[in-house]
Amino acid sequence: MKRGLAWVVGPYRFLQRRPWRFGSSITVTVCIASFANHEEQICVVSDSKAAFGDFSTDKGAIKHEHLGNGHIVLIAGNDVVFASPTIQRARKRIAKDSIKDSDETAEILYEELCKTQNRVIEAKVLSKYGLTVEQFVNKGRKSFTDQVFYEICSRIDRENLSLQFLVAGFDTKNKPHIRIVSAGEPPHDFDSMGFAAIGSGAPAALASLSFAADHHGFCRYSDMDACAYHLYAAKFMSESATDVGRDTFFLSVGKQGTYSVHLLAEEAIRKAWLKDGAPRHSQRTIKILHDALYPTEKFLDAAVLARCLKYGDRTLKKLYGLILTASRRKASQTTVPTTSSSLPRTLEGQK
């Protein structure tokens, strides 16, 4: 099946980034999803900020839609004006074919997203030549000189669609699934991770969730309360990214029903996290760093070892304790002055 620009002009891509255009809807954002409660629930979080050039509104965009088959789709990117028509076409196909499978749902959304991208290319680049994308691929090289052909390919490559979908839902066996869909490549499967994120705030959000998984027991078996906390924390951490808004949308769907966080508690959640949960300034860590910093050439210096020995584990304390003892003994031997009382003993010993 012919899908998207990656298939259409794959040999002629020049990897040029798309320029910003005045009037584009800029809603690079953060959308996060995770399994919860022994995979019986899926929790999602997003912001709702929309920016237009020099202006923005924190509650100006709805970044989630239901697909009607037990799946929800969250939206991120610069070209969200094309999201709704794409989702509507996908929703019609899903309803017509009674699609319940998560992979098929993501595949349909991917195909419709590729169609949207091709329509944008045709409107902005190929319409002046009276060609569709398929016609350009089939006869473009014969119709144009090499210079013109590659120039058109370069213009097409700059029209990459900046739009991502995060699809989350349950299949017919009530198994949860998370997929990320973009026009540049086939859908990505995040079931093994149990969580995913898209948008400009995704790196910070994923770093927060990964830390929670390593140190705080966050996983697909966490109850809904704990999962909601970690998703909110990831959302708050991602707000340092460009165009991630302060307003937070939360939704949990699954076997236990549909849950939301009440508007009355939104600000209290943020304040409590800033007070108790946010990364903070640790005076104890600063004290350890003060002791541990040393001139590189003095790694085995006695003073450095004496300061740092208390922070090592049992094995390192034993090893470096021996080194410190030897270092001190050597220093004492080299600094003992020669006295009149010690001289006779030395001479007597020699005799």
pLDDT digits (tens, 9 = 90+) for 240-278: 887 788 889 999 999 999 999 998 898 999 999 999 888
- Residue 99 backbone dihedrals phi, psi, to 5 degrees: -75, 130
Residue 228: exposure state from Cβ atoms within 10 A (0-12, 13-18, ≥19):
buried
**If pLDDT is split at 50, 70 and 90, which confidence band does 142 have?**
confident
Least confident of 190-199, 231-240, 280-289: 280-289
In terms of DSSP H, where are the helices of the chain?
4-8, 83-97, 102-121, 133-143, 146-157, 202-215, 224-238, 266-272, 283-292, 302-308, 314-335, 342-350
| Tokens, residue 214 | 């390593």
In this prediction, residues 24-38 reach a mean pLDDT of 79
Question: In terms of pLDDT, which residue wins out, 319 or 13?
Answer: 319
* pTM for the full predicted model: 0.78
Least confident of 51-55, 123-127, 201-205, 313-317: 51-55
Q: Which residue has the tokens 């020099």?
A: 54
Q: Indicate if the alpha-carbon torsion angle 74, 76, 80, 85 is positive or negative.
A: negative
Residues with Cβ within 8 Å of residue 16, at least 6 apart in sequence:
154, 157, 158
**If pLDDT is split at 50, 70 and 90, which confidence band does 342 have?**
very low
Q: Decide if 33 contacts 188 (C-beta within 8 A).
A: no
Q: What's the CATH architecture for 4-277?
A: 4-Layer Sandwich (3.60)
- Residue range 202-241, pLDDT digits in tens: 999 999 999 999 999 999 999 999 999 999 999 999 998 8
